[in-house]
Structure 1
Amino acid sequence: MESIKDVVKSRAREKNIKMLEVSESLGLTQQGMYKAFRDKTIKLNQLERIADVLEIHITDLLPAKSVSTNIAGERIENYGTRIDNNKFFSGSQNELFKLRSENEKFKATVAQQKELIERLDKEVEFLRAQLSK
């Protein structure tokens, strides 16, 4: 199975980013970063910073673990990795895709609501100015 370190190296290579840049973003030397990968002591916030540097979603750092079928007979890829010692993250790529889609829709809805609130605030200001004349 491919490790997180392998995934990071591959993604960095794809984006022409040196591993030194990745390690520096964590405030670590390259050796320190590789040791954290090897000892499985890499922390979630460090993975988030790595994902930011590589301009990818954090879940893209998780290596594929196995392929199986769910109860409906659909083929899914399961993944999982230890993060920060005993914490374990697992799920399926299908679930992640759905969550990402929902998250993007939610972000768009929030942005629209903010615009609407700003527009309504301006209208309220205008009406208050009209009433005070």
Structure 2
Amino acid sequence: MNSAQTPPEDPTPPEDPTREIIHRWIRTLTVLGEKDRSIEERFEVLAEVNPAPHVSIEVEVTPDEAKALQDAMAELTGWRSAEGWIHLGIDEVLLRWLGEATGESRSSLLQRLALEMERQFPPGWFQES
């Protein structure tokens, strides 16, 4: 393709953000439940299947403004990270208790959870404005 041509549009519609969040969470619970792997191996797999989203913006700011933005983003990231780990810990305990109470395997519980989340949050239920 020469520089005058534009690439063809991707016919695949972008993933619904809610579904992507659900899919990422189910993948996380699935991988972390793989007890035959070391925790380091599980984290490596998670990094592959759930890459960190990347957002970039270009604005001109003063060095002081840049520092303030970096500090604010670092604090927000810290809070969100801690919140995610707490949610994950709660989910792990609830999955274990449910499995013990019902005799269902973790895999079966995660399949049921994924299906229920698909029903509870249909495509387009959350529309950003």
TM-score, normalised relative to structure 1: 0.31
Larger Rg: 1
Q: Which has the higher strand share?
A: 1
Q: Higher relative contact order at CA 8 Å, sep ≥6: structure 1 or structure 2? A: 2
TM-score, normalised relative to structure 2: 0.32
